[in-house]
Amino acid sequence: MAEVKEALNVVGDIMGTYLPLIQSAIIVINKIVEICEAAEYNQNICNSLLDRVKL
């Protein structure tokens, strides 16, 4: 039982070390998704404006 507790402590220490990195990666990925959605929206607006100019 002591070995299991020690193993869990080691896993907890490892996860604690990488947790800030994982959180930062999640924040960056969310920002990238937001930027891509905004770019897609802007592209739709630009296409609509181009269609109006062509008329």
Q: Give me the pLDDT at residue 10, please.
A: 87
Q: Give me the pLDDT at residue 26, please.
A: 96
What is the distance of C-alpha 8 from the center of its chain? 28
What sign does the CA torsion over 24, 27, 30, 32 have? Answer: negative
Q: Give me the pLDDT at residue 52, please.
A: 92
Residue extents of the structural domains in the chain: 1-54
- Distance between CA atoms of 26 and 9, rounded to whole angstroms? 25
> pTM, whole model, 2 decimals?
0.67
- Distance between CA atoms of 11 and 22, rounded to whole angstroms? 15
Q: Say which DSSP state 55 is in.
A: -
- pLDDT digit string (tens) for the chain, length 55 residues: 888 888 888 888 888 888 999 999 999 999 999 999 999 999 999 999 999 998 7
